[in-house]
Amino acid sequence: MANHEIDYKIIGEELQCVEVELDPNETAIAEAGSLMYMDSAIEMRTIFGDGSNQDSGFLGKLMSAGKRVLTGESLFLTAYTNAGMGKRHVSFAAPYPGKVIAFDLFHHNGKIICQKDAFLCAAKGVAVGIEFQKRIGVGLFGGEGFIMQKLEGDGMAFVHGGGTIVEKELQSGDMLRVDTGCLVAFSSTIDYNVEMVKGIRSAFFGGEGLFLATLRGPGKVWIQSMPFSRLSDKIISSAPKMGGKRKGEGSILGGLGDLLDGDNR
């Protein structure tokens, strides 16, 4: 195996974290800001590039880091190495309520494609890069644009999705339609496209948007029940407005409800 072999434990239910167990000199990589806690023997250092072990020189590392920026990530990853003698632990937290999905890339043909910002952490040697969508319909209307993340290697990688995660296994010829925002990840063998919702009334008044992702097997698909975009929209719609008024809960009471609960500004 080219990647470091790490053990792990996923902790929690609604807001999960992953605790990685490192043997001496083993290393895990993670996005900046995802650290939760670590043992005293763990050493941190910033790495420039995609996290793989390949010695591609400065120009190669610059190219891989630049590609990461296109997916909304930073130029740098953080490496956590066990510099002690025994087993040590480091934990990484999910950024919002949802589930952590563990992938053994060795059992997924060495590659998983996922939405932008889904990557949480991985074993040293896993390459965190970008996947360009070749079809213009996917790029324009797929919710993730032309660019998605790809995780390549033969070790463990961890991604995060919002709400509950549903795993679907598609056989050859099977097809699944998914809301574009609900798609977390899929196997490299999946044929991914986007199609317009049929029927103008369905598109404009159905409340589900104009486009759906179509995924054809064989391969696996991981779907999230609460995309961060939906969560943020709900928070914004319920937040206080410019005049200090909030959106009335329940709609029927409206302003009367504000008076009853003490909000009479």
pTM for this structure? 0.78
Closest among 179, 183, 175 to 224, alpha carbons compared: 183
Distances (CA, A) of 51 to 10, 27, 35, 121, 125: 22, 10, 16, 10, 6
What does the pLDDT look like over 67-125, one tens digit per residue?
Answer: 555 555 566 789 999 999 999 999 999 888 899 999 999 999 999 999 888 999 999 98
The domain covering 7-232 belongs, at the CATH homologous superfamily level, to: Mitochondrial biogenesis AIM24 (3.60.160.10)
| Out of 32-36, 51-55, 214-218, least confident range | 51-55
Domain residue spans of the chain: 7-232
Q: What is the mean pLDDT of the chain?
A: 79
Say how far apart CA 162 and CA 98 lie, in whole Å.
Answer: 4
pLDDT value at position 213? 84
